[in-house]
Chains A and B, each alone.
Chain A
Amino acid sequence: MTSTRRGKVVSYNKWGYIFLIPFVVVYLLFSFVPLVSTIYNSFFENYRSGLTQIGPTFIGLENFKTILTSGEVWVYAKNTMIMWILGFIPQILISLLLGAWFSDPSLRLGCQGFFKTVIYLPNLIMASAFAMLFFTLFSDGGPINSLLMQMGFISTPFKFLSNVWSARFLVATMNCLMWFGNTTILLMAGMMGIDTSLFEAARVDGATSTQVFFKITLPLLRPILVYVMITSLIGGLQMFDVPQILTKGSGDPMRSTMTLIMYLNKHLFSKNYGLGGALSVILFVITGILSLLVFKLSSRNESN
């Protein structure tokens, strides 16, 4: 009797593991193996000069030394963070506002399905196509410049892509436009998960909608907010397609819109797996530290 029961338990466990297999296999194949081989590659001198393969020769930590001593990586890390923050702040504010409106039953918003679809649409456009569009719109002889000139704001074309802050601002705007819909949907899901009786209780107690938002919605939304923060941060650190296409890979002006991944891409011209690997490992560490930091900070607040 007991032995059959134990047999049943074991066979249930077995199914658990079987269901896990697809994930584990995919993870091992597409995440773990590349991760290990990247770290392995970072210790070698390994690139192509024309059609001649140089290396691979083991050179220890030489690649890391090259990258860290030149100091460039910090400049590009700074650029990446600036453009991410410039885009993320408006993105989270707009999303919170839209999320609150959409999930507030007392507003009785019509055509919700339509608006939810529309705000999500920019995300469906390929980032490269979107960047090409902005490149054309904001080029020296583009429609934005002719519009501004016709309206008399400026007399000569403003070179949006030759000015540090306007170029960064364009990248941030594009990222914000592309991702605010996604964030809105996530936050809305979080807001609708909050027990409605809490809102009703607050209303009965005479709370204004601002008070409801700041005292009830926001605190209860924290886990989702942290999730949004971390995923957006990781996505931001991997920012590549938009600035790459917008500046044709140059990161102009003076590489002030060059992100970490664009820098990594520069090393692929010579198939430089050594330096590229070392840069990726550094990027991995930075991402890990930042994510941990965000996680720790927000969970400490929660316990308070």
Chain B
Amino acid sequence: MKKKVLSVLLAVAMLTGTLVACGSEPGSASEGKVLNIYCWNNEFRDRVVALYPGYTKTDETHGTIGDVSVVWHETPNEGNAYQNNLDDTLLKQESAAADDKIDMFLVEADYALKYVDTDYTMAVTELGITSADIANQYKYTQDVVTDSNGVLKGLSWQGCPGVMFYNREAAKEIFGSDDPATVQEYVKDWATFNATAQTVFDSGYKIVASANDTYRTYSNNVTKPWVVDGKITIDDNIMNWVNDSKALVDAGYTGTHDLWSADWSAGFFPEGKVFCYFGPAWFVNYSMSADTEGSIGYNGGWGATEGPQGFFWGGTWICAATGTDNTSLVKDIMLQMTTNQTTMTEIVTKYDDFVNNKPAMEAMAADPDYSSKVLGGQNPLAMYCAGVDGLDLSNLSKYDQGCNEEFQKAMKNYFEGNATLDEALDLFYKAVVEKYPELTY
């Protein structure tokens, strides 16, 4: 008996699923009852829970919007787990039941093209989002998620122009002032920066926690992508990073720790004795232990300045998955989170983020009432605004994540003296071909 009821239920569910798929119009009431969102951390979830109108939280990974239940599928990024899970689910998307289909997923710049350049993501125009809706967004955030045919396939609420965060106490001790303009003079280009490294070292500080800290500033200012016609190429500016970093490491001015390791993040605290870190707005709020008592950030001890070169790092984009049965809800979440000016200014004040809304950011940059607590009362938004204009993303490729990771790993061996430069480069090529067997070098 139970089986019979179940089979009838299943049949009905399937039928309604097909009917909905046939007749789904944006805004129609016959949309799916479950919204599946795939993500790798709580960053986007926190913002939606706090700021999306009508979101009711059931527990950490569940909630409801109206009569639609929202399910957050969180898989950590480590060891590529997030993408593996997402890939397998996307490949099964077509045959999945309507309520199990992915409706929305998040991607990062390093691998956005892998998803955007396929039919698994929907064009935002298909959702009913017009170019007038997103006119205030920074163009670079749209370039990242535009496929090879020029179709825009995702949106982001944040902009990630990077700046240099320096330890104010250390700056006072070494240069006699923690004023951003003064500090900027000591780090205005790479030659000056590397010379300053010695001054900083003589005062007992490391210029950066690890050679990997400066990697993005070099790798974002390249003239060609990692892969050209199926061949792995290393840009001259990346080699500049190798040479500069080798000199810094050999002199003992910096370490070779992996990013996010305990040794690397020791510098978030005064005893870590690190002069500066490079990062975008989310770095301050999300990563620098700013909520831990005793950390530099907790006491507002960081200052921000442009640093030697502009760059961007990370950022999260929202993509709609092809086959979603919640198009109007997906559209609304995208619009609320990435275009609604009130929501976005709240993200700035609440999370120290830098949001993807040009007029709002320019207004806030000039607003004397806004200041960042972590940055000791500084308003860094003008700096981000200036930085975001200079971003050039024409050299992204879908291999960026693998190449960036493997390059830093391989070079660590060279910096530590376990390999010659050629051996380390050889290791890099080998490791990339293992990840992407179709490439040559």
Contacts and interface: CB of A to CB of B under 8 A. Distances in A.
A140 B91 contact: no
B201 interface: no
A162 B437 contact: no
Given A140-B255, A162-B256, A254-B427, A51 B87 contact: yes
A255 interface: yes
B223 interface: no
A61 to B, nearest CB: 17
Interface in B418-441: 418-419, 423-424, 427, 430-431, 434-438
Interface centre among A51, A255, A272 (most CB of B within 10 A): A51
A252 B406 CA distance: 12
A270 B114 contact: no
Contacts of A209: none
Contacts of B438: 49, 54
B43 interface: no
Interface in B64-95: 79-80, 87, 90-91
Contacts of B261: 139
A272 B427 contact: no
B118 A50 contact: yes
A50 B434 contact: no
B409 interface: yes
Interface residues on A, range: 20 to 34
A199 B92 CA distance: 67
B79 A51 contact: no
Nearest to B91: A51
A150 B257 CA distance: 22
Given A51-B120, A162-B256, A136 B262 contact: yes
Contacts of A50: 114, 117-118, 398
Contacts of A266: 431, 434-435
A261 B98 CA distance: 39
Contact of A252 (B255, B262, B398, B413): B413
A269 B435 contact: yes
Interface in A42-97: 47-52, 54, 72
A269 B262 contact: no
B435 A270 contact: yes
B416 interface: yes
A278 B116 CA distance: 33
Contact of A51 (B114, B416, B431): B114
A193 interface: no
Contacts of B436: 49, 270
Given A252-B409, A254-B423, A139 B437 contact: no
A265 to B, nearest CB: 10
A159 interface: yes
A269 B114 CA distance: 14
Interface string A213-254: 000000000000000000000000000000000001110111
Given A139-B262, A250-B409, A269-B435, A51 B90 contact: yes
Contacts of B402: 269
B437 A270 contact: yes
Nearest to A163: B418
B263 A141 contact: yes
A164 interface: yes
Interface of A: 47-52, 54, 72, 136, 139-141, 159, 162-164, 248-250, 252-255, 266-267, 269-270, 272, 275
15 contacts: A50-B118, A54-B437, A72-B430, A140-B257, A141-B262, A162-B416, A248-B258, A253-B413, A253-B418, A254-B419, A269-B80, A269-B434, A269-B435, A270-B436, A272-B437
Interface of B: 79-80, 87, 90-91, 114-115, 117-118, 120, 255-258, 261-263, 266, 398, 402, 409, 412-413, 416, 418-419, 423-424, 427, 430-431, 434-438
Given A159-B416, A255-B427, A266-B434, 7 more contacts: A50-B118, A51-B115, A141-B262, A163-B418, A248-B258, A270-B434, A272-B437
Which A-B residue pairs are the 8 nearest by beta carbons?
Answer: A253-B418, A50-B114, A266-B434, A162-B416, A141-B263, A269-B435, A140-B263, A254-B413
